[in-house]
């Protein structure tokens, strides 16, 4: 067992089964042994790769999107430019290179990075030093004011809770540990009050149905909604997930680019779950913000001009480099790759119609 597995097993033996969210939070963010405290995670030598690591075009288009939102909300100065979970700093570096073409934007931005991983903070510092970033453990310590925010593959790392419909009621799925079986799931003896968080129109469940909820994600979506509704600005959230709250378990563990058992090595494997974009949207809308999307990543990047940017990078490139650019665009936008699985929403203050979306979503209407 990993050191963290032993700690969790002792905790469960002492106080009883823990929620899936408590297991996930310990495995990912335990101060000494959590995955995101100790591992570098991203890239060929890490456990997974992400869109900004696949192509510079991804961050560049986000940079243009952020500048456009800033123009639409009256060019506030200063404006808090916030990234949640900036990874190696690649997305922000590419976005700032494009944004820097607008000197007034460059002068207005104040860069805030919400990151808990010390190794990734070092990478961010190396790439973004010229912009004097300010680091935070949580969004709550970033000062209020006009906001431009980006979160790519951040929400999938936040803890989820799982409910299972059994004997006529939603019960919470808990993580137990016993000597012979190791970690395993059990159900809470009584019904869970969390079922109240399911959308009103959620279909009636059958015995054994499972649904995932992320109160932690809803809290952050509400905080983003409050910030942009009060201070102005916009946020773009990109992640793999579902357009609507649906049944089915999506919690998974990845280590060295391969799926592993979620109980195999807490603290050594990445744990994540599909993001519920309907729930995020409703939570941010309740804070007074406008919601745009969800749209697929394919549709969003196409609307922002991914193919035009690829064509411009390809002109003058070697045939090998041209093929590499085509492959990376296909990975970002192809239906069999990230294009359909990944979704995008914008959470915006008033009087902003962010690029890349057809119009306010159903969730945004009164």
Ligand X SMILES: C[S@@+](CC[C@H](N)C(=O)[O-])C[C@H]1O[C@@H](n2cnc3c(N)ncnc32)[C@H](O)[C@@H]1O
CA distance 224 to 59: 21
Please pick, from the candidates 19, 50, 192, 217, the single residue that binds ligand X as defined by CB under 6 A. Answer: 50
Please pick, from the candidates 4, 9, 23, 29, the single residue that binds ligand X as defined by CB under 6 A. Answer: 29
Please pick, from the candidates 116, 149, 310, 325, the single residue that binds ligand X as defined by CB under 6 A. Answer: 116
The residue (of 142 and 352) whose beta carbon lies closer to ligand X is: 142
Q: Is 64 in the site for ligand X (CB under 6 A)?
A: no
The residue (of 53 and 110) whose beta carbon lies closer to ligand X is: 53
Q: Is 152 in the site for ligand X (CB under 6 A)?
A: yes
- Smallest gap from Cβ 156 to ligand X, in A, equals 7
Please pick, from the candidates 117, 123, 214, 217, the single residue that binds ligand X as defined by CB under 6 A. Answer: 117
Concatenating the DSSP letter of every residue in 300-346 gives HHHHHTHHHHHHHHHTT--HHHHHHHHHHHHHHH-TTTTTTTEEEEE
> Phi, psi at residue 349, to the nearest 5°?
-75, 180
- Smallest gap from Cβ 37 to ligand X, in A, equals 8
CA distance 200 to 198: 6
Q: Is 39 in the site for ligand X (CB under 6 A)?
A: no
* Interacting span for ligand X (CB under 6 A) from 66-74, 99-107, 150-158, 220-228: 150-158
Could you give the dihedral angle defined by the CA atoms of residues 121, 123, 126 and 131, in that order, rounded to the nearest 10 degrees?
-50
- Smallest gap from Cβ 71 to ligand X, in A, equals 24
Query: How many residues interact with ligand X (rule CB under 6 A)?
Result: 20
Q: Is 114 in the site for ligand X (CB under 6 A)?
A: yes
The residue (of 79 and 116) whose beta carbon lies closer to ligand X is: 116
The residue (of 36 and 165) whose beta carbon lies closer to ligand X is: 36
Q: Is 91 in the site for ligand X (CB under 6 A)?
A: yes
Q: Is 297 in the site for ligand X (CB under 6 A)?
A: no
Residue 187, classed as helix, strand or coil, is strand
Sheet arrangement for strand 270-272: 258-260, 252-255, 270-272
- Smallest gap from Cβ 94 to ligand X, in A, equals 11
Q: Where are the beta strands (DSSP E) in 156-218?
A: 161-166, 169-178, 182-191, 210-213
* Interacting span for ligand X (CB under 6 A) from 47-55, 178-186, 305-313, 327-335: 47-55
Q: Is 153 in the site for ligand X (CB under 6 A)?
A: yes
Tell me whether strands 233-242 and 147-152 are parallel, antiparallel or unpaired.
Answer: parallel
Residue 125, classed as helix, strand or coil, is helix
The number of angstroms, rounded, from the C-alpha of 206 to the middle of its chain's C-alpha atoms is 30
The residue (of 154 and 263) whose beta carbon lies closer to ligand X is: 154
Q: How many CB atoms lie within 10 A of CB 22?
A: 17
> Phi, psi at residue 237, to the nearest 5°?
-120, 125
The residue (of 81 and 364) whose beta carbon lies closer to ligand X is: 81
Residue 366, classed as helix, strand or coil, is coil
Tell me whether strands 79-84 and 18-19 are parallel, antiparallel or unpaired.
Answer: unpaired
Give the residue nearest to ligand X (CB): 85
Q: Give the per-residue contact string, 323-352, with ligand X (x = CB under 6 A; - = no).
A: ------------------------------
* Interacting span for ligand X (CB under 6 A) from 16-24, 114-122, 171-179, 258-266: 114-122
Q: Is the peptide bond before 313 cis (omega within 30 degrees of 0)?
A: no
Helices (H) and strands (E) counted in the chain, each on its own, are 13, 16
- Smallest gap from Cβ 83 to ligand X, in A, equals 7
Half-sphere exposure of 225 (CA within 13 A, CB side): 22
User: Contact positions toward ligand X, by CB under 6 A?
Assistant: 28-29, 36, 42, 50, 52-53, 85-87, 91, 114-117, 120, 152-154, 157
């Amino acid at each position: 067992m990993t050191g963290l597995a032993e700690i969790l097993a002792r905790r469960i033996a002492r106080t009883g089964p823990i929620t899936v969210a408590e297991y996930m939070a310990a495995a990912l963010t335990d101060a000494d042994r959590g995955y995101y405290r100790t591992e570098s995670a991203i890239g060929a030598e890490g456990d997974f790769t992400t869109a900004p690591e696949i192509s510079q075009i991804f961050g560049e288009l986000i940079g243009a999107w952020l500048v456009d939102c800033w123009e639409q909300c009256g060019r506030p100065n200063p404006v808090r430019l916030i990234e949640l979970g900036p990874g190696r700093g690649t997305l922000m570096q590419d976005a700032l290179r494009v944004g820097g073409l607008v000197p007034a934007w460059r002068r207005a931005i104040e860069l805030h990075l919400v990151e808990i991983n010390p190794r990734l903070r070092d990478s961010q510092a190396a790439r973004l030093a010229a912009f004097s970033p300010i680091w935070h453990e949580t969004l709550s310590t970033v000062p209020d004011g006009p906001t431009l925010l980006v979160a790519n593959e951040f929400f999938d790392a936040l803890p989820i809770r799982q409910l299972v419909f059994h004997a006529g009621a939603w019960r919470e799925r808990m993580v137990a540990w016993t000597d012979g079986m190791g970690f395993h799931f059990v159900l809470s003896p009584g019904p869970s009050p969390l079922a109240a968080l399911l959308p009103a129109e959620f279909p009636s469940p059958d015995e054994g149905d499972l649904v995932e909820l992320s109160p932690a994600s809803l809290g952050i979506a509400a905080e983003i909604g409050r910030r942009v509704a009060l201070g102005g600005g916009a946020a773009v959230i990109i992640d793999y997930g579902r357009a609507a709250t649906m049944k089915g378990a999506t919690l998974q563990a990845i280590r060295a680019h391969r799926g592993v058992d979620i109980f195999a090595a807490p603290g050594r494997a990445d744990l994540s779950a599909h993001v519920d974009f309907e729930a995020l949207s409703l939570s941010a809308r309740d804070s007074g913000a406008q919601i745009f999307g969800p749209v697929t990543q394919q549709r969003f990047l196409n609307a922002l001009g991914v193919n035009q940017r690829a064509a411009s990078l390809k002109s003058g490139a070697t045939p090998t480099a041209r093929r590499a650019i085509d492959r990376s665009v296909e990975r970002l936008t192809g239906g069999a790759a990230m294009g359909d699985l990944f979704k995008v929403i914008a959470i915006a203050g008033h009087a902003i119609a962010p690029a890349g979306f057809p119009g306010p979503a159903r969730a945004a209407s009164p």
